[in-house]
Amino acid sequence: MEKVLIFGHKNPDTDSICSAIAYAALKRELGMNAEAVRLGEVNGETQYALDYFRMDAPRLVKRVTDETKTVILVDHNERQQSVDDIAEAKILEVIDHHRIANFETADPLYYRAEPVGCTATILKKLFKEHNIPIKKEIAGLLVSAIISDSLLFKSPTCTEEDVQAARELAEIAGIDLESYGMAMLKAGANVGGKSAEELISLDAKEFHMGGYHVEIAQVNTVDPNEVLAKKAELEKAIESVIKRKGLDLFLFVITDILNSDSIGIALGKEQKAAGEAFAAEVENNTLFMKGVVSRKKQVVPVLTNAFEKRKKS
């Protein structure tokens, strides 16, 4: 039987690595010659989970069709997020929790997408549907993926199903959700060695809102003070970006993943809009963003709304 390679998206996160490992294990139990592989480097958070449960990282691949024609995708479906030679492969299955786009097959396939917070939550169901017990280390990797994607259940993308699955998996894995989860997230939120320029550009996106030009960058940390200690350097770096791009507002969101709040550093001539958007006072260029962890769901829509209003008044 031809080998089937199972992998998540490029720039893999914990869900992409752990779901590939877990689904390959399930498929082997069901008799498939399946192997998990990865499309990029393992990040610090994922490495923590692998080390804790004494599992090896999947093999790194750049192409797949030199060794097999048949693949299974987890945690993604869009072609540009997948392996470079995906167009030449036969996609046997997809297990995912994202929108569907840039995806097409020639033949019928098994496609299982659910609007939950994590692929691992769907995989837990699949083990149950096939009556295959989940081994301790696999349960550990699956719960790690849910903790990662949901920021320990604090992200607005997290559903009741994710929480319930994580509880059951933590029981099998023999971990305390809170203490293990915090340690794992902390391992991935190491901002210590990064310069101010790196911090404000690692995950930055530009937006046009009601005629205003806005950039929003985000960094996750378990200790906002570690980032704020570089406030003067960060402001200098931000001012430089504002000048270069002619921005009306730059909002740097420092997300405290343990308390599920964020602190924003807002600069630019429309600084006040940030305060209005989050009903917070802007003091020394900073504002407190209570309960905010998701740029996509909690920052972009609120700021867009504030700028649309400014435009009218």
Q: Which residues are annotated as a binding site for Mn(2+)?
A: 9, 13, 15, 75, 97, 149
263 phi, psi to nearest 5 deg? -115, 130
String of contacts with a copy of itself for each residue 185-214, x by CB under 8 A = ------------------------------
**E-assigned strand segments in the chain:** 4-7, 34-38, 59-60, 70-74, 90-96, 110-113, 204-209, 212-221, 249-256, 261-267, 286-289
Judged by CB under 8 A, the residue of 3, 10, 69, 98 near a copy of itself is: 98
As a whole number of angstroms, the distance between CA 282 and CA 212 comes to: 19
- Tell me how far apart the alpha carbons of residues 156 and 142 are, in angstroms, rounded to a whole number: 19
Contact flag: residue 279 with a copy of itself (CB under 8 A)? no
Q: Give the Cα separation of 37 and 253 in Å (integer).
A: 33
Give yes or no for residue 112 binding a copy of itself (CB under 8 A).
Answer: yes
Output the smallest distance, CB 75 to a copy of itself, in A: 12
By C-beta, is 84 or 114 nearer to a copy of itself? Answer: 114
Range in contact with a copy of itself (rule: CB under 8 A) among 24-32, 98-106, 177-185, 237-245:
98-106
- Asked if 102 touches a copy of itself (CB under 8 A), the answer is yes
Q: Quick one: tokens of 312? A: 């009218």
288 is a site residue for a copy of itself (CB under 8 A): no
Kindly report the number of other CB atoms within 10 A of residue 118's CB atom.
31
Part in contact with a copy of itself (CB under 8 A); list of ranges 46-54, 100-108, 204-212, 275-283: 100-108
Half-sphere exposure in the Cβ direction for 180 (13 Å, CA): 25
Q: Which stretch binds a copy of itself (CB under 8 A): 95-103, 130-138, 161-169, 219-227?
A: 95-103
Residue from the set 59, 62, 63, 99 that interacts with a copy of itself by CB under 8 A: 99
Task: Please state whether beta strands 59-60 and 261-267 pair in parallel, antiparallel, or not at all (unpaired).
Answer: unpaired
Query: Of 30 and 60, which CB lies nearer to a copy of itself in the complex structure?
Result: 30
Amino acid, res. 203: D
Residue choice 54, 56, 66, 108 for contact with a copy of itself (CB under 8 A): 108
